[in-house]
Amino acid sequence: MNKQIFVNLPVKDLAKSKEFFSALGYTFNPQFTDENAACMIISENSIYAMLLVRDYFKTFTSKPVASAHEVTEVLTCLSCESREEVDGLVAKALAAGGKAPRAAQDYGFMYSHGFEDLDGHIWELAYMSDMPG
């Protein structure tokens, strides 16, 4: 069995978050989606983001839940198949109401850019021409 990853993220408005990520081309698994959570499929059978309404998210931890608009706890980086895919996803994110926290970075062997979603979570996107592994 392949390993899977489920990144759990608190969101303020689940419907708006689903609309935002749908505009980027992502879909949701209805089996794990309800009024408190949405299972966003990033890579079929391996990578998912669980978008959890903040109050529901709080039930999974005894620690305070940070606002990603104020602090950064994690940078989620996704690989892309081309520079065009990187730029295309950033353009879709900006058109859907996201922000670009910095300019694109070109290191020759790696090209990256990213966006902040509606809740301030940072999504890095990277294309590596000589991807290891």
What is the arithmetic mean of pLDDT over 10-27? 98
Condensed to tens digits (0 to 9), the pLDDT of residues 65-107 reads: 999 999 998 999 999 999 999 999 999 999 999 999 999 999 9
pLDDT band for position 132 (cuts 50, 70, 90): low
pLDDT score at 2 = 81
Residue spans per domain, the chain: 5-128
Give the CATH superfamily of 5-128.
2,3-Dihydroxybiphenyl 1,2-Dioxygenase, domain 1 (3.10.180.10)
> Would the pLDDT of 133 be above 80?
no
What are the backbone angles phi and psi of residue 87, rounded to the nearest 5°? -65, -35
Mark residue 14 as left, alpha or beta (left: phi above 0; alpha: psi -120 to 50; beta: remaining).
alpha
Asked if residues 95 and 23 have their Cβ atoms less than 8 Å apart, the reply is yes
Asked if residues 48 and 33 have their Cβ atoms less than 8 Å apart, the reply is no
